[in-house]
Amino acid sequence: MSERRKISEYVMQPGTGKAVELSRGQILRVEQIEGGQCVDFNCFNLHDYKEFMHCGRTRTVHGFNPSRGTFMWSAPPRERAMLYILEDTYGRNDVLFPRCSAYVYESAYGFDVHTNCHDIQAEAQREFGLTPDDVHDSFNLFMCTEVTLDGHATMTRQNTEPGDHVDLLALMDVLAVPNVCGADVMRTSNFSLKPIRLTVFEATPADLAVVPNVPVLKSQRTPKDFRNPVIKADRALQRDPAYAPEFPNVPIMVSDLPVALSAEELALLRSVKLDIYGDDAAAALRDILFSWWEERFLGAHAGAPAIEGR
Ligand SMILES: [Zn+2]
């Protein structure tokens, strides 16, 4: 196997972040130097910042703790795989918690000035002309979170060690923005802030070969498909007097669609049909098809490895 060629290296000090241009086929390694440090992460299409990483889609497809073998997706209507997690030596990352902010530290702790991920991200992104409003929901590397049965998100201390790392492979040209999480008064980074090493590599053919093929679908749209492709440049919202709504697929039509079942399929349907459906065989069929879809698309967490290091 050929060696990865190193392109650059950078150490992020506590209180800082770094906007890193990544060409398609390059890898960003985010690595613990001392261990125990959470890293917040934003990602934009380098050629169109309006396409950015979407934690919502990512957690729907890959769960709350995406790890090796999963993708980071962009927001609708783009919904493209932006990054692939090639390696993850610790196996705990989070797409549930928002970035910490100045408001969090003032409202919860009384610190009206405190280092925080939102302001660090904004300052790092400013190198590329972005504003504090452009910071988006954060992918939180090395952050140990869980959801309790009553629906609350919790976090625990982490036990990452020096050298633990996550390798993110760019599937398109991106601006990747990691920062040292500023939470020194929470469990996130074990109550202290430590530096983090960033290394950019050129992916080898072997690296690229392990990425599962992601089909391009017609529903993945770009600005050339938008009715309004122009980015709004002023702040106030004003009604367009010429606006006439053109919602897709409207008016919505509901019609019966006969489905022919074989005797075997009919017997199978009857065998799993619950009382709740009454005589409504179509309702039972819809539920069965949904279960199949759920298992096929939501249950298949893209081969993520068992979580280690808990
Ligand atoms: Zn933070």
For tokens 């992918």, the residue is 139
Alpha helices in the chain (DSSP H): 55-62, 102-109, 117-125, 205-209, 263-272, 281-293
The predicted pLDDT at position 273 comes to: 64
Contacts of 282 (CB under 8 A, 6+ apart): none
Q: Which of 84, 109, 178, 195 is nearest to 139 (CA)?
A: 178
Residue 25 C-alpha to ligand 1 middle, in angstroms? Answer: 28
pLDDT score of 235: 94
* C-alpha to C-alpha distance for 84 and 302, rounded to whole angstroms: 11
Task: Report the predicted TM-score, pTM, of the whole model to 2 decimal places.
Answer: 0.86
- Rounded to an integer, the average pLDDT of 189-199 is 96
Query: What pLDDT was estimated at residue 284?
Result: 78
Angle CA 159–162–167, to nearest 5: 95
Q: For residue 169, report the distance from its CA to the centre of ligand 1, in Å.
A: 23
C-alpha 15 – ligand 1 centre gap (Å): 10
Cα dihedral 184, 186, 190, 193, rounded to 10, equals -20
42: nearest Cα among 127, 105, 117, 144: 117
Rounded CA gap, 303 and 209, in Å?
Answer: 15
Among 141, 120, 124, which residue's Cα sits nearest to residue 189? 141
Structure tokens at 287: 């539920």
Instruction: Output the six-digit token pair for 97.
Output: 């918690």
CA distance 217 to 220: 6
- Residues 145-171 have pLDDT tens digits of 999 999 899 999 999 999 999 999 999
Residues 72/168, Cβ–Cβ less than 8 Å? yes
Going from the Cα of 100 to the center of ligand 1, the distance in angstroms, rounded, reads 4
Q: At what angle do helices 281-293 and 263-272 cross, to 10 degrees?
A: 90
108: CB partners within 8 A, 6+ apart: none
Kindly give the distance from the C-alpha atom of residue 28 to the centroid of ligand 1, in angstroms, as a whole number: 20
d(CA 106, CA 119): 14
| 183 Cα–ligand 1 center, Å | 5
Task: Please name the amino acid found at residue 257.
Answer: L
Q: What is the pLDDT of residue 1?
A: 58
Distance 116 CA to ligand 1 centre (A): 5
Confidence band for 274, pLDDT divided at 50, 70 and 90: low
**Averaged confidence pLDDT in the chain:** 91
Select the more confidently predicted residue: 301 or 98. Answer: 98
Q: Average the pLDDT over each of 74-88, 98-112, 248-262, 294-308 and give the range with the smallest value.
A: 294-308
Alpha helices (H) in 86-159, listed in sequence order: 102-109, 117-125
199-247 confidence digits (pLDDT tens):
999 999 999 999 999 999 999 999 999 999 999 999 999 999 999 999 8
Compute, in angstroms, the gap from residue 181 CA to the centroid of ligand 1: 4
Cα of 101 vs centre of ligand 1, distance in Å, is: 7
